Every structure is written in structure tokens, then in C-alpha cells.
Structure 1
Amino acid sequence: MVHGNTLITNVTLEEPMNFPSAVRMHHLSAPVVFFSILFCSTAALAAHPLITDDTGTMGTGKAQLEMNGEYGRDKEEGVTTTTTQGDACFSYGLSETVDFVIDLPYIHSREKSEEATVSENGFSDTAIEVKWRFYEQGNASFAIKPGLTLPTGDDEKGLGAGKATYSLFFIASQEMDPWAFHLNLGYLRNENTLDEEQNLWHASIAATVALSEKLTAVANLGVERNPDKLASTDPAFVLAGLVYALSEEFDLDFGIKYGLNDPETDRTVLAGVTWKF
């Protein structure tokens, strides 16, 4: 199992077109900032490149360090947005059924339009999560994953929410060798200083299939509540990728994510490496 999140190194971001131009030129897009934070929170225990988590845990005393990156491109209403993100995520098994995860993303962003170009960089909000697999019977299992984000990012630069947020996810997994299927349903209380929607939800499903002893194919479909209060459409995505086990300790992964509607980034390439010890 690969635990993933998002460190962000070069981002070209888009402001909501209904924001005043003065705001757009001085702050990154509030929805984009939120989705960066939500992605970290949602994916902190997910098998990268998947967004959807599974019920698997590390095991008592075992740890994992994951380094992930992604490059996204989006074009809408004359504004082209490119994002390059990266992430370092540390996971530790507190018991056979409980994992602890911490993630501190970094963002470098650049937004370009016909009027001007804006860039910001710095640490975003720190994500902390605990996953507990509370039920396991045969090939079916259930888990819950409470999470907390700390306002370590500069909200005035658009790098954080400005307040602590919390979340709770329900996870279900079903294994049917060589297949596995996963469902995530989540709620996030998005306390913020950016005038965003505060009550948010996430729903996603994922499937994996072992193609060989070392190679696994993955697919993912999901939708999230748009934090933009004026938006009428919630962002939805589809993702496909591969995970290759170099050894028992190291995995490599690669994926491509496509937006199914305008609020979601048009396309994103994801890659990562995982060290288990």
C-alpha cells in the first residue's frame, strides 16, 4: 500500500472569474487552494496515484515515506493554468489496524492571463490523519479516517485556509483476487478566511487489478463539493495508472487524471516513489 499526498512546487492557478480583478491579481484561487489542501487530506492514506483510500494499514511499528509529484494543465475563459505539485508524506503503524500520517505540502504557484501574471510560494496547511480499520470479515473490510489540517499556510497569499479544518472519511474495501474495489465517503468542515463553502463532501470509487507479481493497474472516479459558493457544478475526475514494485521496500507509480467538467483540472500527470521500512 502506498500512502500519498501532495507537495507543490510550481503551480499556475486560476482565480474564479467572478472575483474582482484586484483580488485575482493578489491572491491565488480560493477553490484551487482548497482542492490542494483537500487532496492532501483525502489522499494522505491513499495508494498513489489513487485519490481513493483503501482500508489497508502499515502494521505495528512499520513506516513509510512517500514522495509524489504531479503536473496539471487547465484552460478556461482565456486563463491557462499549469500546476506542478510534489509531496512528502510520512506514515507509521501504531497497531495492526491503526495508522498515523502527517503531511506538509509546499506550493509554488504562477497564474497567467492576458492582464497580468501572479506567483506565490510557501508551505501550505499541514495535514494529520489517523486511519482505523474497525471491521474485517473475509475479503471485506471497513475503516474510518478522521483528519485535521493546521493553518500553517499563508492564507493572505492563498496558500492555506487560514483556520484549522477537520474531516471524517468512511472507507470500504472488497478484495476479489486479482481485483480490489474501494469506496470513500467523506465530510470536511472547511473553516476558512476565504469566504468558501464550509460544509463539503467527497465521494469516490477505485479499482485495482494485479497484472503480474510486480505490476498493478489502478482506476479511480470521484466528485467533491465545490468550495466556491457561487459555483453550480462540483468538480469530478477520472484517473488511471500503474504501480510497479521494484522490491519489497520500493514502489514506483504513474497515473493520468482527467477532469470530467470545468471546475476540475483538464488533465494531470502523477508520479511517485514509496519507501517502506
Structure 2
Amino acid sequence: MVRHALASALALAITATINSAAHAFFPFVTDDTGTQGQGGSQIEVNYEFVKEHNDEIDLEGRVIGTGSGTSNIFPTSYTYGITNNLDLFIGLARQSSPVSGWLNSEIGAKWVFAGEQTKDWSFAVKPTLLLPVSKNMQNQGLGNSKTNLGITLVSSYVADKHELHLNLDYTSNRYAMSADSEDQRKSLWRVSAAPVYVINDRWKAGIDIGIQTNPSYSSKYQAFGELGLQYAPMKNLQLGLGLISTTALNSSDNGWSYAITTGVAYQF
């Protein structure tokens, strides 16, 4: 009998990218405290290519093969500013391969409760609700078939030439068990930091590093790192490119993944 961990690797890649796609600090995983302002809106459309790898292990712990796979994902989000310090957002994501279908949708809010968003330190909280897919869709690898909750504490420091963004994130991982599903952790944590260099009015570059709970019991934690670049051809338009690598720490099945994300964000 062989234990396949490839699905867990893909779940991790999606955890590090898709679940943070709605109103994140484009194109980074780590969010910032910025909001749209009262009456303001933002539309963000992304494309993500994900490749994952895991060893296949028998019940005696011997590696008998490797598993790998790729996926193409298209996350989209819309954000509306209720007040200057409160946003509401909805995030959708559709996967085109290896299985075509919609992933878990996300709705939530971001409330800046302390500080100014444009200078020095500011602090925000972001609760989210992840809506379920059907059991059949879960069995195909398109998400969780139970409702899940998340909350993120966000802190940002903004200066003329540099920024620093910090996140502490919790997401529940409830799902419907079936004969084909593997047991996964029900609580997922992530802590991350994104230092950003402001090159000029049009360009920003930065890195995003963090550690998070591995959904799979093959290891306790996973670490990720991202190189990100943002270009603003005009005031209310940003283009982004990110390269993300994720590795399971001390994993029994040598799990890793990488993702390339690109997209556009427009405010109006």
C-alpha cells in the first residue's frame, strides 16, 4: 500500500497563494494595512502557475517513487471601501488544470484600527469566511467541502523609500472525510514578513518570507519565500510579478512546490 502526498503539496501551494489572493499586498502573500477609502473600489485579476513534488512512500517508510503535478489558477477579487478604514472584499478563484472548476470562494473585511496607512506604523485585522465547494469537487481536489474561517492580524510601516509588512494568520481546515482523502491538520497558522524597497513612483521590489503549518502530517511546518516586483504605469493601476518557493521542513516525503504569479490591480 502506497501513501500519496501530492494532494497535500498542492493544498499547501494554494494555502500560500490563493487563500491570500483577495485584497493582498499585490503581488505578495503578506497583506498590508492599505484600504480603498470610502466609496473606493479595487479589482484584482491574477494568474498562477503552480508545480508541486512529493515522494511516494510505502507503509514501511521507504521511498518507492515520486509524484509531481502542475496547476493553472486564475484568482479574482473585488474590494469596496465602506469607510476610510474599513473594506469589504470577495475573492474567487478558478482552476483550469489538472481539474477544471471553481475553488473555495472567500468573503471578508479589513479594518484598520490604529495608525495612519500612509506613514509610520498602522495596524489592521482581517476576518475571512471561506465558502465550501461540493463533496464531489473536494474529491477532485478543488477545495474543502465545509465552511472555514480565517483571521489575519496585519501591521505595516511605511516610509518614503521602504516599507515593512507583517502578518499573523489563522485559517481553519475543515473538510469532509472520504475513503480517498488523507487526514490533515484542522488548524493552519502562518507568520510572514515582507520588506519592500520603493525604487521610485512607479516601481517597488521586495521579498516575502514566512513559515506556516503544513496541512499534511508528513512534517509540522513549511517555509516559503517570494521575490516580488510591482510596476505602476499610472496612478490607479499596478502590474505585479511574483516567484514563490515553498518547502516542507524535515518532511518525510520531501514535499516542495513553486509558483509563478502575475496579474493586474485597478482602483476606481
Q: What range is the shorter-chain TM-score in?
A: 0.7 to 0.9
Aligned to 1:13: none
Deviation at 1:76, TM superposition (A): 3.6
2:205 aligned to which of 211, 214, 217: 217
What is the aligned length?
243
Aligned to 2:151: 168
Aligned to 1:46: 24
- Residue identity (%): 29
Structure 1's unaligned 5+ residue stretches are 1-16, 111-119
Range 40-49 or range 133-142, more displaced: 40-49
Note the aligned Cα RMSD (angstroms): 2.0
Change (3 A) 1:134 1:44: same
**In 1, are the aligned partners of 2:202 and 2:233 still within 8 Å (CA)?**
yes
Q: Matched residue of 2:207: which SS?
A: strand
Task: Note the alpha carbon deviations across 1:41-66, whole angstroms, 9 max, x for none.
Answer: 33322122200001111101100111
Aligned to 1:156: 139
**In 1, are the aligned partners of 2:240 and 2:264 still within 8 Å (CA)?**
yes
Deviation at 1:129, TM superposition (A): 1.5
> Mapping of 1:133-152 within 5 angstroms?
133-136=112-115, 139-152=120-133
Residue identity opposite 1:272 in structure 2: G
Q: CA separation in 1, counterparts of 2:255 and 2:89?
A: 29
- Decide which structure has greater strand share: 2
Aligned to 2:85: 97
Range 85-94 or range 186-195, more displaced: 186-195
Q: CA separation in 1, counterparts of 2:80 and 2:245?
A: 31
**In 1, are the aligned partners of 2:132 and 2:143 still within 8 Å (CA)?**
yes
Deviation at 1:263, TM superposition (A): 3.3
Aligned to 1:83: 71
Q: CA separation in 2, counterparts of 1:95 and 1:191?
A: 33
Aligned to 1:113: none
Q: CA separation in 2, counterparts of 1:34 and 1:150?
A: 18
1:244 aligned to which of 212, 216, 231: 231
1:253 aligned to which of 232, 236, 240: 240
Q: Matched residue of 1:32: which SS?
A: helix
TM-score (norm 2): 0.83
1:204 aligns with 2:192: yes
Q: Matched residue of 2:231: which SS?
A: strand
Q: CA separation in 2, counterparts of 1:217 and 1:260?
A: 23
Structure 2's unaligned 5+ residue stretches are 56-65, 178-182, 249-253
Residue identity opposite 1:231 in structure 2: S
Range 162-171 or range 193-202, more displaced: 193-202
Q: Matched residue of 2:234: which SS?
A: coil
